[in-house]
Amino acid sequence: MKKGFCPQIQIAGIHDMDEAQLLADCGVESLGFPLRLAVHAEDVSESTAKKIIAAFHDTIPSVLITYLTDADEILSFCEELGTSMLQLHAEVPEKLLAELKARRPELYIIKSIIMPAQASEEATSQLKNLLKEYAPYADAFLTDSYDPATGATGATGKTHDWRLDRQLVELSPCPVILAGGLNPDNVHDAILQVHPAGVDAHTGVEGPDGRKDERLLRKFVSETRKAFSALG
């Protein structure tokens, strides 16, 4: 496993400073900011995200989650926001990760992998190929789900076959963060099945108004802590 920080609990989709403070109070270890997206509308403006990242810089790391594919734009955006953690959600060639690492070695790169809906020999083969491409440059992987109805790859509220995630954990030299449809009711079982290094949630801890719900957040954190404790 590569050295470096890997958040055990990451929550994405922060709307404002008050919501960021709520996440901090609930014990969240990383704040995710999906920006410049392919499908979904952003939860927060880039200027507000920059202010939140600066306010929590010394206490909770923030991750830029984006579908950008140009190295210049990515590095410029990270610098503008004031974060050295990046989650690449687009399909990109391995040479992009190599360039990012060469130009900014301290950049912590989380490469998302959109998991097939069901486990199969073909799916396992695909995972092995992705690991061969990305593992030399990624600091962590994050699994997520695809929604065929919207074309979204992330923030779908949908789960996938966790047997594939467990395979990825066993094969990967990097930490694996489990995401995709996680909520307070399923995160405990998901962790026990997958054995990830961390978990990530977005829509699963939101109320009907689309904002983070304190009751759901606290239950999510509690269930996550229980599961990781059980794994030892």
The full DSSP string for 40-68 is SPPSS-HHHHHHHHHHTTTTS-EEEEE--
What percent of the chain has pLDDT above 70?
92
Tell me what the mean pLDDT of segment 69-94 comes to: 96
- pLDDT of 2 higher than 50: no
- Calculated CA dihedral for residues 65, 181, 15, 29, nearest 10 degrees: -70
Contact at 8 Å (CB) between 222 and 183? no
The 3-state DSSP class for residue 149 equals coil
Tell me what the mean pLDDT of segment 109-125 comes to: 85
- pLDDT the model gives residue 152: 54
37 confidence band (pLDDT: 50, 70, 90): confident
Contact at 8 Å (CB) between 33 and 62? yes
If you average pLDDT over every residue of the chain, what do you get?
Answer: 91
Give 6-15 pLDDT, tens digit per residue: 889 999 999 9
- pLDDT of 3 higher than 60: no
Considering only residues 116 and 97, tell me which one the structure prediction assigns the higher pLDDT.
97
For the entire predicted model, the pTM comes to: 0.91
